A and B are shown apart, each in its own frame.
Chain A
Amino acid sequence: GNSVTQMEGPVTLSEEAFLTINCTYTATGYPSLFWYVQYPGEGLQLLLKATKADDKGSNKGFEATYRKETTSFHLEKGSVQVSDSAVYFCALSETNFGNEKLTFGTGTRLTIIP
């Protein structure tokens, strides 16, 4: 079956530091890959996505590249801010019609200190 393995947290960084959160996946076929973010007390929001190999998703200064050869989708940001403090989830979905089940990683809690 499908699975997502995500970097264990929590991660604490200073403001303006470089961020990498690792994510690798196992899937049959050609999944779509996502990063979701959950701010304190809120539901999940889609941060970025990539639907095929070598696609780069980007949003709010975050980037992730769909690497089929290494089955990875690592999240990066060049200079983090305090407002980036949140829990980040890597996820995948099968692109079969009528099947939109998401498989999530365990989440990585990120704390940015001023």
Chain B
Amino acid sequence: NAGVTQTPKFQVLKTGQSMTLQCAQDMNHEYMSWYRQDPGMGLRLIHYSVGAGITDQGEVPNGYNVSRSTTEDFPLRLLSAAPSQTSVYFCASSYSGQRTAFNEQFFGPGTRLTVL
């Protein structure tokens, strides 16, 4: 199993550009999510999905879009990049609460994004 994979590892954008961060998992997990990590703030939830075709907003969703057309993939789209979106982005996945007694999440290696 490859686990949770993310591409690209690094990206530099100019203000106003758009891009998609890719996330894929091969563990047949129902639940997938995107976090951003900023110094002194820990990780904050951007969007999440409990299954294909279902997405919902997390704590900091503004400026980001997601879709979940398959169980395996959960891309994060930046519509018009802003310097405030400079961060490290982590994708995570897990089984749903109906299958397990606890909610262990598996994280990808992250994408470091800089917006100039």
> B78-115 vs A: 1/0 string, CB under 8 Å?
00000000000010101011100111111111100000
Is B110's CB under 8 angstroms from A100's CB? no
- B50, B90, B96, B102: the one contacting A43 at CB < 8 Å is B90
User: Across the interface, do B98 and A97 meet the contact criterion of CB distance under 8 Å?
Assistant: yes
Question: For chain B, which range describes its interface: under 10, 10 to 19, 20 to 34, or 35 or more residues?
Answer: 20 to 34
Q: B33 interface residue, CB < 8 Å from A?
A: yes
Which residues of chain B have C-beta atoms less than 8 A from A51's C-beta?
Answer: 101-102
Q: In the bound complex, how far is the Cα of B35 from the Cα of A97, in angstroms?
A: 20
A79 to chain B, nearest CB (A): 27
Q: Is B40 an interface residue (CB 8 A)?
A: yes
A95 touching B97, Cβ below 8 Å = yes
Q: Give every chain B residue within 8 A of A36 (Cβ-Cβ).
A: 107
Complex partner residue of B107 from A45, A49, A101, A106, CB under 8 angstroms: A45
**CB-based nearest B residue for A103:** B45
Residue count of chain A within 8 Å CB distance of chain B: 26
Considering only residues 33-51 of chain B, those with a C-beta below 8 Å from chain A are: 33, 35, 40-45, 48, 50
- Tell me whether A102 and B108 are in contact (CB under 8 A): no
Q: Which residue of B lies closest to A98 (CB)?
A: B50
* Among B40, B96, B107, contact of A100 (Cβ-Cβ < 8 Å): B96
Q: Is A107 a contact partner of B42 (Cβ separation < 8 A)?
A: yes
Given contacts A49-B102, A93-B103, contact A98 B97 (CB under 8 A): yes
Q: Is B31 an interface residue (CB 8 A)?
A: yes
A32 within 8 A of B: yes
Complex CA–CA separation, A33 to B43 (angstroms): 15
Query: With a CB–CB cut-off of 8 A, which chain B residues contact A34?
Result: 104
Is B58 positioned at the interface, with any CB of A under 8 Å from its CB? yes
A44 touches B42 (CB 8 A): no
Encode A30-43 as 1/0 by CB contact (under 8 A) with B. 00101010000011
Which residue from chain A places its CB closest to the CB of B31 in the assembled complex?
A100
Which of the residues A96, A104, A105 comes within 8 Å of B97, measured between beta carbons? A96
Q: Which of A49, A96, A98 contacts B104 (CB 8 A)?
A: A49
Whether B105 pairs with A46 at a CB distance below 8 angstroms is yes
The 4 closest A-B pairs by CB, nearest first: A104-B42, A43-B107, A97-B97, A100-B103
